[in-house]
Structure 1
Amino acid sequence: MNLFSFVECANQTQSLKALFDLLVSCASEEGFTEVAYGALTFAEPLRLPGCPPPLVAIKVPPDWCQRYLERKYYIVDPVVRRTPMFAGPYLWDELAKEHQLQACEQRVLQEAREAGLKHGVSVPLFGPSGRISVISFASRCDDADPQRNVKHLNALAWHFHIAFAEIARPSDRVSNRKVSLSEREKDCLRWVAEGKSSWEIGKILNVSENTVNFHVKNAIRKLGSSNRTQGLVKAIRLGLIEFAEPALVTPMVA
Protein backbone atom coordinates (compact mmCIF):
# COMPACT_ATOMS: atom_id res chain seq x y z
CA MET A 1 0.00 0.00 0.00
CA ASN A 2 1.48 3.38 -0.99
CA LEU A 3 1.18 6.50 1.12
CA PHE A 4 -1.73 7.90 -0.84
CA SER A 5 -3.71 4.70 -0.38
CA PHE A 6 -2.95 4.89 3.33
CA VAL A 7 -4.35 8.43 3.44
CA GLU A 8 -7.48 7.37 1.58
CA CYS A 9 -8.12 4.51 4.00
CA ALA A 10 -7.23 6.60 7.07
CA ASN A 11 -9.73 9.28 6.03
CA GLN A 12 -12.51 6.71 6.15
CA THR A 13 -12.16 5.77 9.83
CA GLN A 14 -12.87 7.45 13.14
CA SER A 15 -11.50 4.52 15.13
CA LEU A 16 -8.06 4.64 16.74
CA LYS A 17 -7.84 0.84 16.66
CA ALA A 18 -8.68 0.67 12.96
CA LEU A 19 -6.21 3.45 12.19
CA PHE A 20 -3.45 1.81 14.21
CA ASP A 21 -4.15 -1.59 12.62
CA LEU A 22 -3.78 0.10 9.23
CA LEU A 23 -0.42 1.56 10.29
CA VAL A 24 0.80 -1.84 11.51
CA SER A 25 -0.31 -3.47 8.25
CA CYS A 26 1.55 -0.91 6.13
CA ALA A 27 4.71 -1.06 8.26
CA SER A 28 4.61 -4.86 8.14
CA GLU A 29 4.83 -4.70 4.35
CA GLU A 30 8.21 -3.03 4.89
CA GLY A 31 9.28 -5.78 7.32
CA PHE A 32 8.56 -3.81 10.51
CA THR A 33 5.80 -5.71 12.25
CA GLU A 34 6.18 -4.22 15.74
CA VAL A 35 4.85 -0.69 16.26
CA ALA A 36 4.35 1.61 19.26
CA TYR A 37 2.85 5.10 19.48
CA GLY A 38 3.27 7.34 22.51
CA ALA A 39 2.57 10.89 23.67
CA LEU A 40 5.64 12.14 25.53
CA THR A 41 4.97 15.69 26.75
CA PHE A 42 1.21 15.71 27.32
CA ALA A 43 -1.63 13.46 28.44
CA GLU A 44 -3.37 12.02 25.36
CA PRO A 45 -6.97 11.22 26.40
CA LEU A 46 -7.57 8.73 23.59
CA ARG A 47 -5.55 5.50 23.83
CA LEU A 48 -6.04 1.80 23.26
CA PRO A 49 -7.06 -0.31 26.28
CA GLY A 50 -4.20 -1.42 28.50
CA CYS A 51 -1.85 1.36 27.39
CA PRO A 52 -0.72 3.54 30.32
CA PRO A 53 0.79 6.95 29.57
CA PRO A 54 2.88 7.75 27.65
CA LEU A 55 1.79 4.81 25.47
CA VAL A 56 -1.23 5.35 23.22
CA ALA A 57 -1.15 2.20 21.08
CA ILE A 58 1.25 -0.71 20.91
CA LYS A 59 1.73 -3.92 18.95
CA VAL A 60 4.73 -5.97 20.11
CA PRO A 61 5.24 -9.59 21.23
CA PRO A 62 2.79 -10.19 24.14
CA ASP A 63 5.48 -11.38 26.57
CA TRP A 64 7.58 -8.29 25.94
CA CYS A 65 4.55 -6.01 26.22
CA GLN A 66 3.62 -7.54 29.58
CA ARG A 67 7.18 -7.20 30.91
CA TYR A 68 7.51 -3.64 29.57
CA LEU A 69 4.32 -2.56 31.32
CA GLU A 70 4.74 -4.52 34.56
CA ARG A 71 8.28 -3.25 35.08
CA LYS A 72 7.31 0.26 33.96
CA TYR A 73 10.10 0.31 31.42
CA TYR A 74 8.47 3.33 29.77
CA ILE A 75 9.99 5.36 32.62
CA VAL A 76 13.57 4.45 31.62
CA ASP A 77 13.09 3.56 27.93
CA PRO A 78 15.74 5.57 26.02
CA VAL A 79 13.26 6.12 23.18
CA VAL A 80 10.85 7.79 25.60
CA ARG A 81 13.60 9.71 27.35
CA ARG A 82 15.61 10.90 24.36
CA THR A 83 13.17 11.42 21.50
CA PRO A 84 12.78 15.16 22.36
CA MET A 85 16.50 15.55 21.57
CA PHE A 86 15.98 14.59 17.90
CA ALA A 87 14.58 16.67 15.06
CA GLY A 88 13.98 13.69 12.78
CA PRO A 89 13.93 9.87 12.61
CA TYR A 90 16.72 7.97 14.33
CA LEU A 91 17.81 4.32 14.42
CA TRP A 92 17.96 2.43 17.71
CA ASP A 93 21.39 1.07 16.78
CA GLU A 94 22.67 4.64 16.40
CA LEU A 95 21.04 5.66 19.67
CA ALA A 96 23.07 3.06 21.51
CA LYS A 97 26.30 3.88 19.67
CA GLU A 98 26.21 7.67 19.69
CA HIS A 99 24.83 8.39 23.15
CA GLN A 100 26.09 7.33 26.55
CA LEU A 101 23.02 5.48 27.71
CA GLN A 102 22.50 4.72 31.36
CA ALA A 103 22.58 1.08 32.43
CA CYS A 104 18.80 0.99 32.80
CA GLU A 105 18.37 2.35 29.25
CA GLN A 106 20.81 -0.19 27.84
CA ARG A 107 18.92 -2.94 29.64
CA VAL A 108 15.64 -1.96 27.97
CA LEU A 109 17.22 -2.04 24.50
CA GLN A 110 18.96 -5.34 25.19
CA GLU A 111 15.83 -7.03 26.53
CA ALA A 112 13.85 -5.67 23.58
CA ARG A 113 16.34 -7.30 21.19
CA GLU A 114 16.09 -10.57 23.12
CA ALA A 115 12.30 -10.37 22.83
CA GLY A 116 12.56 -10.12 19.04
CA LEU A 117 12.71 -6.36 18.40
CA LYS A 118 16.10 -6.58 16.70
CA HIS A 119 16.26 -3.42 14.60
CA GLY A 120 14.20 -0.31 15.18
CA VAL A 121 13.61 3.25 14.08
CA SER A 122 11.74 5.97 15.98
CA VAL A 123 10.07 9.05 14.50
CA PRO A 124 9.65 12.20 16.65
CA LEU A 125 6.33 13.91 15.95
CA PHE A 126 5.74 17.54 16.88
CA GLY A 127 2.45 19.33 17.39
CA PRO A 128 1.10 22.64 18.70
CA SER A 129 1.72 23.89 22.23
CA GLY A 130 4.94 21.91 22.54
CA ARG A 131 3.32 18.50 22.11
CA ILE A 132 5.83 15.76 21.29
CA SER A 133 4.81 12.24 20.31
CA VAL A 134 6.78 9.32 18.88
CA ILE A 135 6.14 6.29 16.70
CA SER A 136 8.62 3.40 16.83
CA PHE A 137 8.90 0.62 14.26
CA ALA A 138 10.86 -2.57 14.93
CA SER A 139 11.68 -5.67 12.91
CA ARG A 140 12.04 -9.24 14.10
CA CYS A 141 14.46 -10.02 11.24
CA ASP A 142 18.21 -10.18 11.81
CA ASP A 143 18.97 -8.64 8.41
CA ALA A 144 16.42 -5.80 8.52
CA ASP A 145 17.75 -2.47 7.29
CA PRO A 146 15.79 0.39 8.89
CA GLN A 147 18.01 2.95 7.15
CA ARG A 148 16.70 1.78 3.78
CA ASN A 149 13.08 2.14 4.95
CA VAL A 150 13.38 5.22 7.13
CA LYS A 151 11.92 7.72 4.63
CA HIS A 152 8.81 5.67 4.02
CA LEU A 153 8.34 4.88 7.71
CA ASN A 154 8.79 8.55 8.54
CA ALA A 155 6.03 9.53 6.10
CA LEU A 156 3.76 6.75 7.39
CA ALA A 157 4.28 7.95 10.95
CA TRP A 158 3.32 11.52 10.08
CA HIS A 159 0.25 10.39 8.14
CA PHE A 160 -0.89 8.35 11.12
CA HIS A 161 -0.11 11.10 13.62
CA ILE A 162 -2.13 13.74 11.78
CA ALA A 163 -5.04 11.35 11.16
CA PHE A 164 -5.02 10.38 14.83
CA ALA A 165 -5.11 14.05 15.89
CA GLU A 166 -8.19 14.53 13.75
CA ILE A 167 -9.88 11.67 15.60
CA ALA A 168 -8.73 12.60 19.11
CA ARG A 169 -8.86 16.38 18.72
CA PRO A 170 -11.21 17.39 15.87
CA SER A 171 -10.29 21.04 16.42
CA ASP A 172 -6.82 20.21 15.05
CA ARG A 173 -8.27 19.36 11.66
CA VAL A 174 -6.97 21.59 8.87
CA SER A 175 -9.69 22.88 6.58
CA ASN A 176 -8.85 22.97 2.88
CA ARG A 177 -10.95 26.13 2.65
CA LYS A 178 -8.19 27.86 4.60
CA VAL A 179 -5.28 26.56 2.52
CA SER A 180 -4.50 27.63 -1.02
CA LEU A 181 -1.21 26.62 -2.66
CA SER A 182 0.18 28.07 -5.86
CA GLU A 183 0.83 25.74 -8.76
CA ARG A 184 4.57 26.13 -8.23
CA GLU A 185 4.23 25.23 -4.54
CA LYS A 186 2.24 22.15 -5.54
CA ASP A 187 4.86 21.21 -8.16
CA CYS A 188 7.62 21.38 -5.56
CA LEU A 189 5.67 19.32 -3.01
CA ARG A 190 4.88 16.67 -5.62
CA TRP A 191 8.57 16.20 -6.24
CA VAL A 192 9.25 16.22 -2.50
CA ALA A 193 6.81 13.31 -2.37
CA GLU A 194 9.03 11.54 -4.91
CA GLY A 195 11.98 11.89 -2.53
CA LYS A 196 13.77 14.57 -4.54
CA SER A 197 16.09 17.12 -2.93
CA SER A 198 15.74 20.86 -3.52
CA TRP A 199 18.70 20.73 -5.90
CA GLU A 200 17.12 17.89 -7.90
CA ILE A 201 13.74 19.64 -7.99
CA GLY A 202 15.42 22.80 -9.23
CA LYS A 203 17.01 20.89 -12.13
CA ILE A 204 13.68 19.26 -13.01
CA LEU A 205 11.74 22.53 -12.93
CA ASN A 206 14.59 24.62 -14.37
CA VAL A 207 14.76 26.95 -11.38
CA SER A 208 17.36 27.59 -8.71
CA GLU A 209 17.66 25.57 -5.52
CA ASN A 210 16.88 28.73 -3.55
CA THR A 211 13.66 29.20 -5.53
CA VAL A 212 12.60 25.65 -4.68
CA ASN A 213 13.31 26.24 -1.00
CA PHE A 214 11.30 29.48 -1.16
CA HIS A 215 8.23 27.74 -2.56
CA VAL A 216 8.50 24.76 -0.21
CA LYS A 217 8.83 27.03 2.83
CA ASN A 218 5.80 29.03 1.72
CA ALA A 219 3.78 25.84 1.37
CA ILE A 220 4.90 24.61 4.80
CA ARG A 221 3.89 27.94 6.34
CA LYS A 222 0.48 27.95 4.68
CA LEU A 223 -0.16 24.39 5.87
CA GLY A 224 0.75 25.25 9.45
CA SER A 225 3.52 22.66 9.47
CA SER A 226 6.95 22.52 11.03
CA ASN A 227 8.84 20.58 8.33
CA ARG A 228 8.63 19.20 4.79
CA THR A 229 7.26 15.82 5.76
CA GLN A 230 4.45 17.23 7.88
CA GLY A 231 3.60 19.79 5.20
CA LEU A 232 3.56 17.12 2.50
CA VAL A 233 1.31 14.90 4.61
CA LYS A 234 -1.18 17.71 5.19
CA ALA A 235 -1.18 18.63 1.49
CA ILE A 236 -1.93 15.01 0.56
CA ARG A 237 -4.64 14.67 3.20
CA LEU A 238 -6.30 17.85 1.93
CA GLY A 239 -6.20 16.59 -1.65
CA LEU A 240 -3.99 19.48 -2.75
CA ILE A 241 -1.50 17.21 -4.52
CA GLU A 242 -1.72 13.79 -6.13
CA PHE A 243 0.95 11.11 -6.39
CA ALA A 244 0.88 10.59 -10.16
CA GLU A 245 1.20 14.20 -11.22
CA PRO A 246 4.98 14.81 -10.95
CA ALA A 247 5.61 13.01 -14.20
CA LEU A 248 3.30 15.51 -15.91
CA VAL A 249 5.04 18.62 -14.56
CA THR A 250 6.88 20.64 -17.17
CA PRO A 251 9.54 23.28 -16.51
CA MET A 252 8.35 26.86 -16.43
CA VAL A 253 9.56 30.19 -15.17
CA ALA A 254 9.22 30.58 -11.40
Structure 2
Amino acid sequence: MEGAFAIARQFAERAFHFDSQAELASGLEACALELGFSYFALLHHVDLRKHWQRMIRIDNYPAGWTERFIGSRLFLEDPVFCASLMTNIGFPWDSIGKLIRVSRTQRQILEAARREGLNCGFTVPAHIPGEAHGSCSFACASARTFSHDCMLAAQLVGSFAFQAARRICCARCPLRLQAVQLTPRQRDCVELVAQGKTDWEIAMILGLKEDSVTKVVDAARRRYDVANRTELVVAALFDGQISFNTVRHWQYQFAPCSSVNSRTSR
Protein backbone atom coordinates (compact mmCIF):
# COMPACT_ATOMS: atom_id res chain seq x y z
CA MET A 1 0.00 0.00 0.00
CA GLU A 2 1.60 3.23 -1.17
CA GLY A 3 2.18 5.62 1.70
CA ALA A 4 1.36 3.08 4.46
CA PHE A 5 4.65 3.67 6.26
CA ALA A 6 4.22 7.44 6.06
CA ILE A 7 0.77 7.07 7.65
CA ALA A 8 2.19 4.87 10.42
CA ARG A 9 5.12 7.21 11.06
CA GLN A 10 2.82 10.22 11.29
CA PHE A 11 0.57 8.43 13.79
CA ALA A 12 3.58 7.29 15.85
CA GLU A 13 4.79 10.88 16.12
CA ARG A 14 1.34 12.09 17.20
CA ALA A 15 0.87 9.23 19.67
CA PHE A 16 3.39 10.76 22.07
CA HIS A 17 1.20 13.84 22.43
CA PHE A 18 -2.31 12.43 22.84
CA ASP A 19 -3.67 13.67 26.18
CA SER A 20 -6.95 11.76 26.47
CA GLN A 21 -8.68 8.59 25.36
CA ALA A 22 -11.00 10.66 23.17
CA GLU A 23 -8.04 12.24 21.40
CA LEU A 24 -6.37 8.86 20.94
CA ALA A 25 -9.62 7.35 19.63
CA SER A 26 -10.05 10.16 17.10
CA GLY A 27 -6.46 9.86 15.89
CA LEU A 28 -6.59 6.07 15.71
CA GLU A 29 -9.88 6.09 13.80
CA ALA A 30 -8.49 8.54 11.22
CA CYS A 31 -5.31 6.49 10.85
CA ALA A 32 -7.27 3.24 10.46
CA LEU A 33 -9.36 4.78 7.68
CA GLU A 34 -6.22 5.94 5.88
CA LEU A 35 -4.91 2.37 6.01
CA GLY A 36 -8.18 1.06 4.58
CA PHE A 37 -9.84 -0.19 7.77
CA SER A 38 -13.37 0.69 8.88
CA TYR A 39 -13.03 -0.18 12.57
CA PHE A 40 -10.52 -0.45 15.40
CA ALA A 41 -10.53 -1.87 18.93
CA LEU A 42 -7.87 -1.19 21.56
CA LEU A 43 -8.56 -3.52 24.48
CA HIS A 44 -7.28 -5.25 27.56
CA HIS A 45 -8.28 -8.93 27.49
CA VAL A 46 -10.22 -8.88 30.75
CA ASP A 47 -13.85 -9.17 31.85
CA LEU A 48 -15.23 -6.31 29.76
CA ARG A 49 -18.44 -6.21 31.79
CA LYS A 50 -16.52 -4.58 34.63
CA HIS A 51 -15.24 -1.02 34.63
CA TRP A 52 -11.78 -1.04 36.13
CA GLN A 53 -9.93 2.25 36.36
CA ARG A 54 -6.85 0.70 34.81
CA MET A 55 -8.66 -1.08 31.98
CA ILE A 56 -7.99 -0.04 28.39
CA ARG A 57 -11.03 -0.17 26.15
CA ILE A 58 -11.26 2.17 23.17
CA ASP A 59 -13.09 1.12 20.02
CA ASN A 60 -15.53 2.14 17.30
CA TYR A 61 -16.97 -1.32 16.60
CA PRO A 62 -20.66 -1.53 15.62
CA ALA A 63 -22.78 -0.94 18.73
CA GLY A 64 -24.83 -4.10 18.18
CA TRP A 65 -21.73 -6.27 18.09
CA THR A 66 -20.16 -4.62 21.12
CA GLU A 67 -23.34 -5.12 23.14
CA ARG A 68 -23.51 -8.80 22.19
CA PHE A 69 -19.77 -9.39 22.60
CA ILE A 70 -19.83 -8.07 26.16
CA GLY A 71 -23.34 -9.02 27.24
CA SER A 72 -23.01 -12.63 26.09
CA ARG A 73 -19.42 -12.86 27.35
CA LEU A 74 -18.10 -13.83 23.92
CA PHE A 75 -14.75 -12.37 24.98
CA LEU A 76 -14.18 -15.53 27.05
CA GLU A 77 -13.74 -17.62 23.88
CA ASP A 78 -13.00 -14.94 21.31
CA PRO A 79 -10.66 -16.57 18.76
CA VAL A 80 -8.87 -13.28 18.13
CA PHE A 81 -8.04 -12.94 21.83
CA CYS A 82 -6.95 -16.59 22.01
CA ALA A 83 -4.78 -16.37 18.90
CA SER A 84 -3.07 -13.22 20.16
CA LEU A 85 -1.74 -15.22 23.11
CA MET A 86 0.23 -17.42 20.71
CA THR A 87 2.29 -14.71 18.99
CA ASN A 88 4.00 -11.41 19.66
CA ILE A 89 3.48 -9.95 16.18
CA GLY A 90 0.35 -8.93 14.31
CA PHE A 91 -1.69 -11.42 12.33
CA PRO A 92 -4.58 -11.28 9.84
CA TRP A 93 -7.73 -13.00 11.04
CA ASP A 94 -7.69 -15.50 8.19
CA SER A 95 -4.53 -16.99 9.75
CA ILE A 96 -6.11 -17.63 13.16
CA GLY A 97 -6.42 -21.33 12.31
CA LYS A 98 -2.63 -21.53 12.04
CA LEU A 99 -2.22 -20.19 15.59
CA ILE A 100 -4.94 -22.06 17.49
CA ARG A 101 -7.35 -24.92 16.99
CA VAL A 102 -10.56 -23.06 16.28
CA SER A 103 -13.53 -24.59 18.09
CA ARG A 104 -17.08 -24.69 16.82
CA THR A 105 -18.05 -21.89 19.20
CA GLN A 106 -15.15 -19.77 17.98
CA ARG A 107 -16.15 -20.29 14.35
CA GLN A 108 -19.64 -19.13 15.31
CA ILE A 109 -18.18 -16.02 16.94
CA LEU A 110 -16.25 -15.17 13.77
CA GLU A 111 -19.35 -15.69 11.65
CA ALA A 112 -21.47 -13.53 13.95
CA ALA A 113 -18.82 -10.78 13.73
CA ARG A 114 -18.91 -10.93 9.92
CA ARG A 115 -22.68 -10.44 9.95
CA GLU A 116 -22.14 -7.29 12.03
CA GLY A 117 -19.66 -5.87 9.52
CA LEU A 118 -16.39 -7.16 10.96
CA ASN A 119 -15.60 -9.23 7.90
CA CYS A 120 -11.83 -9.45 8.15
CA GLY A 121 -9.16 -7.86 10.25
CA PHE A 122 -5.64 -7.60 11.58
CA THR A 123 -4.68 -7.81 15.27
CA VAL A 124 -1.55 -6.61 17.03
CA PRO A 125 -0.98 -8.39 20.41
CA ALA A 126 0.25 -6.49 23.48
CA HIS A 127 2.03 -8.48 26.19
CA ILE A 128 3.37 -6.41 29.09
CA PRO A 129 4.77 -8.23 32.17
CA GLY A 130 2.65 -7.47 35.23
CA GLU A 131 -0.36 -6.33 33.19
CA ALA A 132 -3.32 -7.99 31.53
CA HIS A 133 -2.81 -9.07 27.94
CA GLY A 134 -4.25 -6.74 25.33
CA SER A 135 -4.42 -6.04 21.63
CA CYS A 136 -5.13 -3.46 18.97
CA SER A 137 -7.35 -4.77 16.17
CA PHE A 138 -8.30 -3.26 12.84
CA ALA A 139 -11.29 -4.55 10.88
CA CYS A 140 -12.96 -4.13 7.50
CA ALA A 141 -16.60 -4.31 6.51
CA SER A 142 -15.74 -6.07 3.25
CA ALA A 143 -13.38 -8.96 2.51
CA ARG A 144 -9.89 -7.97 1.42
CA THR A 145 -6.33 -9.22 1.31
CA PHE A 146 -3.88 -7.14 3.29
CA SER A 147 -0.65 -6.16 1.58
CA HIS A 148 2.67 -6.73 3.32
CA ASP A 149 3.17 -2.97 3.72
CA CYS A 150 -0.31 -2.54 5.17
CA MET A 151 0.29 -5.22 7.80
CA LEU A 152 3.66 -3.77 8.77
CA ALA A 153 2.11 -0.31 9.07
CA ALA A 154 -0.78 -1.68 11.16
CA GLN A 155 1.76 -3.42 13.42
CA LEU A 156 3.50 -0.11 14.09
CA VAL A 157 0.27 1.82 14.60
CA GLY A 158 -1.18 -0.81 16.94
CA SER A 159 1.97 -0.90 19.07
CA PHE A 160 2.20 2.87 19.42
CA ALA A 161 -1.55 3.15 20.05
CA PHE A 162 -1.45 0.64 22.91
CA GLN A 163 1.52 2.37 24.49
CA ALA A 164 -0.26 5.73 24.22
CA ALA A 165 -3.32 4.20 25.91
CA ARG A 166 -1.13 2.90 28.75
CA ARG A 167 0.43 6.34 29.21
CA ILE A 168 -2.98 8.03 29.31
CA CYS A 169 -4.24 5.40 31.74
CA CYS A 170 -1.23 6.03 33.99
CA ALA A 171 -2.01 9.74 34.06
CA ARG A 172 -5.62 9.02 35.04
CA CYS A 173 -4.89 6.23 37.52
CA PRO A 174 -1.18 5.71 38.26
CA LEU A 175 0.00 2.18 37.51
CA ARG A 176 2.89 0.45 39.15
CA LEU A 177 5.84 1.66 37.09
CA GLN A 178 7.81 -1.55 37.30
CA ALA A 179 7.49 -5.07 38.52
CA VAL A 180 8.68 -6.14 41.95
CA GLN A 181 12.33 -7.15 41.69
CA LEU A 182 13.28 -10.41 43.37
CA THR A 183 16.90 -11.14 44.26
CA PRO A 184 18.62 -13.95 42.32
CA ARG A 185 18.34 -16.23 45.38
CA GLN A 186 14.67 -15.40 45.84
CA ARG A 187 14.04 -16.09 42.17
CA ASP A 188 15.76 -19.48 42.40
CA CYS A 189 13.66 -20.45 45.40
CA VAL A 190 10.37 -19.22 43.91
CA GLU A 191 11.05 -21.18 40.70
CA LEU A 192 11.52 -24.36 42.75
CA VAL A 193 8.41 -23.61 44.84
CA ALA A 194 6.52 -23.30 41.55
CA GLN A 195 7.86 -26.73 40.55
CA GLY A 196 6.27 -28.18 43.69
CA LYS A 197 9.46 -28.62 45.69
CA THR A 198 9.39 -28.55 49.50
CA ASP A 199 11.72 -26.31 51.48
CA TRP A 200 13.81 -29.38 52.36
CA GLU A 201 14.13 -30.33 48.67
CA ILE A 202 14.99 -26.75 47.70
CA ALA A 203 17.65 -26.69 50.39
CA MET A 204 19.21 -29.89 49.02
CA ILE A 205 19.16 -28.53 45.44
CA LEU A 206 20.62 -25.12 46.30
CA GLY A 207 22.96 -26.21 49.09
CA LEU A 208 21.19 -24.19 51.76
CA LYS A 209 19.71 -24.87 55.18
CA GLU A 210 15.99 -25.61 55.20
CA ASP A 211 15.19 -22.68 57.51
CA SER A 212 17.20 -20.39 55.20
CA VAL A 213 14.99 -21.41 52.29
CA THR A 214 11.89 -20.66 54.37
CA LYS A 215 13.24 -17.19 55.19
CA VAL A 216 14.10 -16.47 51.54
CA VAL A 217 10.64 -17.50 50.33
CA ASP A 218 8.96 -15.49 53.08
CA ALA A 219 11.04 -12.44 52.11
CA ALA A 220 9.90 -12.83 48.49
CA ARG A 221 6.31 -13.15 49.67
CA ARG A 222 6.63 -9.91 51.66
CA ARG A 223 8.02 -8.11 48.62
CA TYR A 224 4.83 -8.97 46.76
CA ASP A 225 2.68 -8.41 49.86
CA VAL A 226 0.85 -11.70 49.31
CA ALA A 227 -0.54 -14.07 51.92
CA ASN A 228 0.69 -17.44 50.66
CA ARG A 229 3.03 -19.22 48.27
CA THR A 230 0.42 -19.84 45.61
CA GLU A 231 -0.14 -16.10 45.26
CA LEU A 232 3.63 -15.58 45.25
CA VAL A 233 4.12 -17.97 42.32
CA VAL A 234 1.24 -16.42 40.38
CA ALA A 235 2.57 -12.89 40.96
CA ALA A 236 6.12 -13.84 39.96
CA LEU A 237 4.90 -15.52 36.77
CA PHE A 238 2.65 -12.57 35.95
CA ASP A 239 5.50 -10.11 36.40
CA GLY A 240 7.96 -12.18 34.39
CA GLN A 241 10.25 -12.74 37.37
CA ILE A 242 10.06 -16.46 36.61
CA SER A 243 8.92 -18.11 33.40
CA PHE A 244 6.59 -20.98 32.60
CA ASN A 245 9.43 -22.69 30.77
CA THR A 246 11.62 -22.81 33.89
CA VAL A 247 8.69 -23.95 36.03
CA ARG A 248 7.85 -26.81 33.69
CA HIS A 249 10.19 -27.87 30.91
CA TRP A 250 8.12 -28.32 27.78
CA GLN A 251 7.82 -26.91 24.30
CA TYR A 252 4.93 -26.03 22.04
CA GLN A 253 4.30 -28.83 19.60
CA PHE A 254 3.06 -27.23 16.41
CA ALA A 255 1.22 -29.54 14.08
CA PRO A 256 1.69 -29.08 10.31
CA CYS A 257 -0.65 -26.41 8.97
CA SER A 258 -2.48 -28.96 6.84
CA SER A 259 -3.37 -31.16 9.81
CA VAL A 260 -4.46 -28.17 11.90
CA ASN A 261 -6.65 -26.93 9.10
CA SER A 262 -8.17 -30.36 8.61
CA ARG A 263 -9.14 -30.53 12.28
CA THR A 264 -10.57 -27.02 12.40
CA SER A 265 -12.68 -27.60 9.31
CA ARG A 266 -14.63 -30.45 10.85
Q: Shorter-chain TM-score category? A: 0.5 to 0.7
Q: In the alignment, which residue of structure 2 is the partner of 1:164?
A: 165
Q: Which of 53, 62, 65 is the equivalent residue of 1:45?
A: 53
2:127 paired with 1:122: no
CA distance in 1 between counterparts of 2:57 and 2:25 reads: 10
Aligned residue type for 2:21: L
Summarize the Cα distance change of 1:88–1:8 in structure 2 as closer, same or farther, 3 Å threshold.
closer
Q: In the alignment, which residue of structure 2 is the partner of 1:31?
A: 36
| SS of residue matched to 2:137 | strand
Q: Deviations over 1:7-62 (max 9, x none)?
A: 34333332112102211110111111211111126996245xxxxxxx61221122
Moved more, 72-81 or 97-106: 97-106
Q: In the alignment, which residue of structure 1 is the partner of 2:26?
A: 21
CA distance in 2 between counterparts of 1:172 and 1:2 reads: 30
**How much does 1:148 deviate?**
4.6
Summarize the Cα distance change of 1:137–1:44 in structure 2 as closer, same or farther, 3 Å threshold.
farther
Identity %: 22
Q: How does 1:117-196 map to 2 (within 5 A)?
A: 117-129=118-130, 131-145=132-146, 147-170=148-171
| SS of residue matched to 1:18 | helix
CA distance in 2 between counterparts of 1:107 and 1:146 reads: 27
Q: How does 1:210-229 map to 2 (within 5 A)?
A: none
Which ranges in structure 2 are unaligned for 5 or more consecutive residues?
Answer: 1-5, 178-266
CA distance in 2 between counterparts of 1:88 and 1:141 reads: 23
Moved over 4 A (4+): 41-44, 170-174
Which ranges in structure 1 are unaligned for 5 or more consecutive residues?
Answer: 48-54, 175-254
CA distance in 2 between counterparts of 1:36 and 1:83 reads: 14
CA distance in 2 between counterparts of 1:114 and 1:40 reads: 23
Q: Select the structure of larger CA radius of gyration.
A: 2
CA distance in 2 between counterparts of 1:7 and 1:173 reads: 24
| SS of residue matched to 2:37 | coil
Q: In the alignment, which residue of structure 2 is the partner of 1:11?
A: 16
Moved more, 60-69 or 37-46: 37-46
Summarize the Cα distance change of 1:117–1:146 in structure 2 as closer, same or farther, 3 Å threshold.
farther
**How much does 1:130 deviate?**
5.3
| SS of residue matched to 1:93 | helix
CA distance in 1 between counterparts of 2:25 and 2:128 reads: 19
Contact 1:24-1:35 within 8 A present in 2 as well: yes
CA distance in 2 between counterparts of 1:97 and 1:84 reads: 13
CA distance in 2 between counterparts of 1:105 and 1:112 reads: 11
Aligned residues: 167
Q: What TM-score do you get using the length of structure 2 for normalisation?
A: 0.55
**How much does 1:129 deviate?**
2.3
How well do the aligned residues superpose, as a CA RMSD in angstroms? Answer: 2.7
CA distance in 1 between counterparts of 2:93 and 2:149 reads: 14
Q: In the alignment, which residue of structure 2 is the partner of 1:82?
A: 83
